[in-house]
Amino acid sequence: MSVSEQQVQDALKEITDPTTKKDFVSTKSVKNIKIDGDKVSLDIVLGYPGKSVFESIRTLVSDKVKSIAGIGSVTVNVSSNIVSHSVQRGVKLIPGIKNIIAVASGKGGVGKSTTAVNLALALAAEGARVGILDADIYGPSQPLMLGIKDDRPEPSADGKKLEPLNGHGLQAMSIGFLIDPDQPMVWRGPMVTQALGQLLNDTNWKDVDYLVVDLPPGTGDIQLTLAQTVPVTGSVIVTTPQDVALIDARKGLKMFEKVGIPILGIVENMSLHICTNCGHEERLFGTGGGEKMCKDFDVEFLGALPLDINIRQQTDEGNPPVVADPDGRVSQIYKEIARRVAVKVAEQAQDFSARFPNIVIQNT
Ligand SMILES: Nc1ncnc2c1ncn2[C@@H]1O[C@H](COP(=O)(O)OP(=O)(O)OP(=O)(O)O)[C@@H](O)[C@H]1O
Q: Which domains does the chain have, with CATH numbers?
A: 5-80 (3.30.300.130), 97-352 (3.40.50.300)
Digits of tens for pLDDT over the chain (364 positions)? 578 899 999 999 999 999 999 999 999 999 999 999 889 999 999 999 999 999 999 999 999 999 988 888 999 999 999 988 877 777 888 889 999 999 999 888 899 999 999 999 999 999 999 999 998 888 899 999 999 999 999 999 998 999 999 999 999 999 899 887 677 677 777 777 788 888 999 999 999 999 999 998 887 777 777 777 888 999 999 998 877 778 888 888 888 888 888 999 999 999 888 777 887 777 776 677 788 888 888 899 999 999 999 999 999 999 999 999 999 999 999 999 999 999 999 988 653 433 444 455 665 5
Q: Which of 103, 107, 113, 119 to mutate to test the pocket of ligand 1 (most atoms within 8 A of CB)?
A: 113
Q: Is 113 annotated as a binding residue?
A: yes
Q: Which of 312, 325, 334 to mutate to test the pocket of ligand 1 (most atoms within 8 A of CB)?
A: 312
Q: Is 330 annotated as a binding residue?
A: no
Q: What is the pLDDT of residue 178?
A: 86
What are the DSSP calls for 164-206, one per residue?
PEEETTEEEEEGGGTS-TTS-----HHHHHHHHHHHHHTB---
The pTM assigned to this predicted structure is 0.90
Q: Are 186 and 195 in contact (CB under 8 A)?
A: no
CA nearest 202: which of 148, 102, 133?
133
- Residue 274 DSSP symbol: E
Inter-helix orientation angle 51-66/5-12, to 10°: 120
Residue 338 to residue 357: CA distance in whole angstroms: 28
Interval 269-320: pLDDT, tens: 998 887 778 877 777 766 777 888 888 888 999 999 999 999 999 999 999 9
Q: Is 271 annotated as a binding residue?
A: no
Q: Which atom of ligand 1 is nearest to the CA of 217?
A: 25
Q: What is the pLDDT of residue 352?
A: 41
Q: Which atom of ligand 1 is nearest to the CA of 316?
A: 31
Q: Is 106 annotated as a binding residue?
A: yes
Give the strand pairing for 97-104 and 208-214. Answer: parallel
Q: What is the pLDDT of residue 70?
A: 84
Q: What is the pLDDT of residue 217?
A: 85
CA of 279 to the centre of ligand 1 (A): 22
Q: What is the pLDDT of residue 363?
A: 59
CB neighbour list of residue 319: distance below 8 Å, 6 or more residues apart: 147, 168
Residues contacting ligand 1 via CB (< 6 Å):
105, 108-114, 136, 139, 141, 217, 269-270, 305, 307-308, 311-312, 315-316
Q: What is the pLDDT of residue 362?
A: 61
Q: Is 109 annotated as a binding residue?
A: yes
Q: Which atom of ligand 1 is nearest to the CA of 238?
A: 21
CA nearest 71: which of 12, 24, 2?
2
Q: Which of 107, 110, 114 to mutate to test the pocket of ligand 1 (most atoms within 8 A of CB)?
A: 114
Q: What is the pLDDT of residue 288?
A: 74
